[in-house]
Amino acid sequence: MFWDNSVALLLQIFMTIYVFGNPEIENDSLPLKILPELQKKFPEIKFEIKDPNEEWEIPEELTIIDTVLGIEEIKVFEDLKNFSKAPTVSLHDFDAYSNLRYLEKLGRLKKIKIIGIPPMISQEKAIEEITAIIKL
């Protein structure tokens, strides 16, 4: 048991989570609103606000928190296959999806985890559920 907890803590120490969002658009701002609380709960994790339209370094295992349209509750996506250009289930910011697909085609995107937040969930529930996901 000690080993499992130590390995999990060690992984969190070296973990970086990219956070996408737009403070100017209400239904795309939740990831940014909950960020300060997540930083308090996980000081060992490096959270970085990223603009999906800009270039950034891609870690071996990319973890992103972003608003996702078409979902009712927080969901973890382990690939891009569930996303489409159609509004049924898509990353809120189409540019994020386009950029990630491009990186995938170039072979630069090895492993991805997207923690998708529905736009209408409460901040409290988002923090609670994302905290549980990160602790896994």
Going along the chain from its start, the domains and CATH numbers come out as 2-135 (3.40.50.1450)
Specify the pTM. Answer: 0.81
- Measured in whole angstroms, how far is the alpha carbon of residue 136 from the centre of its chain? 15
Nearest partner of 66 among 55, 50, 82, judged by Cα: 50
Q: Note down pLDDT in tens along the chain; length 136 residues.
A: 444 554 444 444 568 999 999 899 888 999 999 999 999 999 999 999 998 777 788 888 899 999 998 899 999 999 888 776 544 454 544 467 777 888 888 888 888 899 999 999 999 999 999 999 998 7
> Number of H helices and number of E strands within the chain?
4, 6
